[in-house]
Structure formats: C-alpha cells, structure tokens
C-alpha cells in the first residue's frame, strides 16, 4: 500500500505525529522527497533552505520514528555534497577520470548541498540514537522533459519547442559551455533505483546506509543538445553566452553506481547520448 502526501515539513511535532497516526501503520517506509532543490533559490534564502531541507527533514523523520518505530526512512540527498574536482581533476578527460564513489570527501559545493548534508548528519545521529533504519540516496543528475524548465536540458527542450512551434525567425539558443561532460541518468532509471531500494529497505546490513544513484557514464553536453534538436526536427544554432560560463568548471563529472548495483538488482540502462535523449522524450 502506498500513501502519497503533501505536508508542510515546518508543521508542529504534534501535527506531524498525528498525521502518521492517521495511517494506522506499525511498519512502513517513509520516502522523504520534500525540499528546496533549485540551487539559486537556496542561495537567495539560505535560512529558509536550511529550515526546510535539514530541520524540516529531521522533524518529519522524528515524528515518523516516534509513531512507527519499526519503519525505514529513504532520504533523497544530492551528489553535490561531495567535494568538487581539484585543479588536477578539473583538467582530466576520457578514461583517466575517476568516478565519484561514496567514499569521496564530503565538502558541499553550495547552500543547497550544505543543507542536504546537514540533514544527512541529523538523520545519522537519529539512527544511532534510536536504531531507526535510514537509507540516503545521493542523486546525480536525472532528466526528463517534464522537469522544471530552469534546469539545463529542460530549458533547451522548451526553447527548441518554441522555435519549432513559432514563426520563422531567429533560431539561436544561448547556452553555456557545451564542451563539458556530466553524469546524466534517465528519470525512469531513477524510479527503478528507488524501487530496488524500497524492495530491500529492511534487509541492508547496517542501520544507516548511503548509495549513489547515477548512470556511471559522462554525457557530452554538446551532443545531447544537438541530438535533442534533431529528435524534435528543429534546425537550431547554439550560441555561447559568456554570462553562463563558470571559471574553473571541470571538464567531466562522473559518478560510480557500483555500490548500489552490488546491493540491489538495479543497474542503469543509459549507455549513450542517444539513449538518454530517447528516455528524456518518452512519456512516463
């Protein structure tokens, strides 16, 4: 049985506990997806981001544990908690790039990541104090056409659709550096990863566990946007926007899904830029 609910994580402890009591369960898995995830919004209001992403998460989990002590918490975190590439790593490309595993040094890269790692720390402490089972999923990028258009590939998708549907005129799309490679997975793979973890949530050998969820493949941003344009039948020109260039941005960011693959029956299905764009455009 699955309950989908939208509750304010800033509600009082009594309100949160009463909500869980209404479910009438003595064993359950809480999938915690609530939070502020758009990085610029977190930068603009770091206090609110911390209140929602960390303090709010602890409040919800504490209420859940008090009412359903035999439960498991599945918490969505981010790969942005890891330290960014150093100067040497930033210049690497190709086979010499070392994928980021769960043992990589944690050094949150922005306010959003800081709030997520703070939540991880709070939940780790709660797990140690109470025995509550917690599984943290550090998510790399997963994309689909239904995502918020403020994110990279959905932004390009919306602009390409506007060009395709609009009158003849400018076909220029302003973008940042497309000579980069990033670990992008499909939304369907992400959903399958959650399902695999849910199926084994009570079986992991330690009470507090952390897994990366990623494709294990670095996708070429330039190829992605050109394939997307081709799939949509749009003849577009991608124009470099200097304001979107970040100094020192690493050439490649690549995650390792190995730990999750060994612990479950899950494996990523995306093996190429073509695969990713096909999955991006497929209705779910």
Domain ranges of the chain: 13-281
- Is residue 39 very low, low, confident or very high in pLDDT (cuts 50, 70, 90)? confident
Burial of 7 per CB tally in 10 Å (0-12, 13-18, 19+): middle
Fold of 13-281: Rossmann fold (3.40.50)
> Which helix (H) or strand (E) covers residue 93, if one does?
none
In sequence order, the β-bridge partners of residue 135 are: 74, 209
pLDDT at site 60: 96
CA separation for the pair 12, 123 (Å, rounded): 18
- Is residue 2 very low, low, confident or very high in pLDDT (cuts 50, 70, 90)? low
pLDDT digits 0-9 by tens, 81-131 = 999 888 777 777 766 788 999 999 999 989 999 999 999 999 999 999 999
Whole-prediction pTM value? 0.91
pLDDT at site 53: 96
CA separation for the pair 264, 28 (Å, rounded): 19
């Amino acid at each position: 049985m699955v309950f989908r609910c939208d509750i304010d994580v800033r509600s009082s402890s009594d309100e949160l506990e009463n909500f869980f009591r209404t479910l009438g369960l003595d064993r359950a898995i809480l999938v915690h997806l609530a939070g502020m995830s758009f990085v610029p919004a977190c930068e603009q209001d770091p206090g609110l981001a911390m209140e929602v992403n960390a303090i709010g998460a602890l409040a919800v989990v504490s209420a859940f544990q008090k009412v359903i002590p035999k439960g498991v918490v599945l918490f969505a975190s981010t790969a942005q908690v890891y330290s960014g590439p150093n100067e040497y790593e930033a210049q690497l490309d190709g086979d010499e790039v070392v994928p980021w595993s769960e043992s990589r040094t944690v050094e949150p890269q922005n306010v959003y990541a800081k709030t997520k790692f703070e939540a991880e720390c709070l939940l780790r402490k709660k797990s140690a104090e109470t025995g509550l089972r917690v599984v943290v999923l550090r998510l790399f990028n997963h994309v689909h056409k239904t995502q918020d258009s403020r994110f990279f590939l959905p932004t390009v998708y919306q602009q390409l659709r506007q060009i395709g549907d609009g009158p003849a005129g400018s076909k220029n799309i302003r973008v940042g550096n497309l000579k980069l490679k990033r670990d992008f997975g499909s939304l369907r793979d992400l959903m399958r990863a959650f399902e695999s973890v849910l199926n084994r949530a009570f079986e992991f050998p330690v009470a507090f566990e952390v897994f990366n969820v990623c494709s294990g493949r670095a996708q070429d941003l330039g190829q992605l946007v050109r394939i997307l344009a081709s799939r949509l039948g749009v003849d577009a020109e991608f124009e470099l926007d200097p304001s979107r260039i970040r100094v020192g941005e690493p050439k490649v960011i690549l995650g390792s899904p190995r730990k999750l693959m060994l612990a479950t029956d899950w494996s990523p299905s995306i093996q190429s830029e073509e695969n990713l764009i096909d999955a991006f455009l497929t209705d779910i």
